[in-house]
Structure 1
């Protein structure tokens, strides 16, 4: 398969109080087109730093990020990024938030409205087009953010623990909705999480990070799709993978 996103020997240092703080060291990863890669790691292992580099939002201190064979030197409209924090524009209603990537591309008003309406329907927000972010629940804001990212039709999606702040039931609903949106789309996803169950439910490949982005495990996930967490939890293959990933996380933090 075609490699769509590649990180080669990435190191990232930050200056703090006249000292160099290393957040990521010698990190290498290749992501194939159409795959769903979950990156699993505990807080402080460099997951968010890695995503910022893959998105072109920051430059590596050493190493190279390539997207579709070209060196990435800044943000790319073909790469969508859904962050942990809520980045909806509070002065725009839901419809105009979702339209924003299309506005940036110069798409006409009628086409923007049609595309946004279709996406809001897909993420379960039809009827909320004129609501403002402050009028939405946390789960609805996540849905709106997902729709806005998809409006730009990126072929590569980066997601930084997007459902981490939600309650368990809502998180499960959004995980299943994300899989439905992804399956058959041809899009490539890199999804960062600290939750083993989430990583196994979503991914067809799991990369476990230790300190400073050291790759402890890089494993293909052969669990059949579609997947539902309630049935997965009693699947012996899932239980075995869960045990192995827990051991890898423990190894990575030691």
Structure 2
């Protein structure tokens, strides 16, 4: 690990005034006469404008945590604070891009992207202009009137990202959004996401099980173990922009990759 990499105590950030704070969070799911524990006493602070990656193996509670952060489910105990206020349900300040395709199949790209603004009552002309801007921004110009079934997997991901941005959220939650794509397309969309994030002041919480993806994207990586235990919490001090071919041979990248790999292996024991 490089000397300039900061390692935080488990579950703790360096900024007490986080935009998103998770305090002693637990989540149980009933299973017959027993409770299945998905998260136990999990705490973390996400700093404003930060690109935080949650890295962990399947079954460690990553998706459960994002559902809780999005306000879609309620914790069994503990709480989530957004800007100091307890989160009790979905917030317009938080956008969520899930693993699965949630585009409306009966709407074309434009009508899918404009949907968040339509739901809040914005006029047709205004919301359509913003939808067109976002469609161009994510590289879907020319496909405005295509339906989801007429798009490739990568194009549907772009449309979903544009729709999330149409709601103008301050914080973005992304649950393995590129996991099902081929390597070349994944790299392309990672770059697209970074381009859309940089300079906006938005906060991003991104879930993945891929170490390289985590290091290409993150300001900070938190490695999760069983039931949301924090195995490692590090700031990633790699210069941006990060060219995948160049950064892979950077000694800091190699050292961080090794540290994250060791943490994941220890968590699997």
Give the TM-score normalised by the residue count of structure 2: 0.93
Q: 1:141, 1:17 → 2: CA distance?
A: 38
Please state if 1:248 is matched with 2:263.
yes
Instruction: Tell me the residue number matched to 1:106.
Output: 121
1:32, distance to aligned residue in structure 2 (A): 0.6
How far does the alpha carbon of each residue in 1:172-214 deviate from its partner, in whole angstroms, 9 at most, with x for none? 0000010000000100000000000000000000000000000
How far does the alpha carbon of each residue in 1:148-194 deviate from its partner, in whole angstroms, 9 at most, with x for none? 00000000000000000000000000000100000001000000000
Helix, strand or coil for the counterpart of 2:19? strand
Helix, strand or coil for the counterpart of 1:113? helix
Contact 1:36 1:190 in 2 (8 A): yes
1:18, distance to aligned residue in structure 2 (A): 2.3
Q: 1:209, 1:55 → 2: CA distance?
A: 19
Spell out the pairing of 1:1-254 with structure 2 (5 A cutoff).
2-254=17-269
RMSD of Structure 2 on Structure 1 (CA): 0.7
How far does the alpha carbon of each residue in 1:113-135 deviate from its partner, in whole angstroms, 9 at most, with x for none? 10000000010001101000000
Q: 1:18, 1:67 → 2: CA distance?
A: 34
Q: 1:231, 1:83 → 2: CA distance?
A: 30
Which structure 1 segments of 5+ residues have no match? none
Q: 2:92, 2:120 → 1: CA distance?
A: 9
Q: 1:221, 1:234 → 2: CA distance?
A: 15
Q: 2:169, 2:264 → 1: CA distance?
A: 31
Contact 1:34 1:189 in 2 (8 A): yes
Contact 1:176 1:228 in 2 (8 A): no
Q: 2:159, 2:39 → 1: CA distance?
A: 31
Task: Provide the aligned length of Structure 1 versus Structure 2.
Answer: 254
Contact 1:9 1:62 in 2 (8 A): yes
Helix, strand or coil for the counterpart of 2:191? helix
Q: 2:223, 2:231 → 1: CA distance?
A: 6
Contact 1:210 1:252 in 2 (8 A): yes
Which structure 2 segments of 5+ residues have no match? 1-14
How far does the alpha carbon of each residue in 1:38-69 deviate from its partner, in whole angstroms, 9 at most, with x for none? 00000000000000011110000000001011
Q: 2:258, 2:77 → 1: CA distance?
A: 35
